[in-house]
Amino acid sequence: MDDTLLTLTARLPRQRRDLALDICVEVIAIAPELPGGHPGRAARSAVMLLLELAMPELCDSDRRDLAHAAERAVVMSR
């Protein structure tokens, strides 16, 4: 199963996809500076929260999948 950010957001309408990607990419970029001791977990939590605030219509499973993909991106980039 391909669970990259691009694949996960492909089924969203263009504007919503762009917003979701912007949120995830920005969080990934600042993850090393986030509090919490573990940048990956901090990124996952931040993405979950920001997506819930910015896109409340996004289903929980999609939000969770995007947050986990962001977490993996942070952990793999270390």
What's the predicted TM-score (pTM) here?
0.91
For the chain, 78 residues long, give each residue's pLDDT as a single digit of tens: 467 999 999 989 999 999 999 999 999 999 998 887 899 999 999 999 999 999 999 999 999 999 999 999 999 987
Total domains present in the chain: 1
* 78, two tokens: 């270390």
Domain that holds residue 54: 5-76
pLDDT of residue 1: 44
Quote the CA–CA distance of 55 and 19 in Å, as a whole number.
9
Quote the CA–CA distance of 26 and 63 in Å, as a whole number.
16
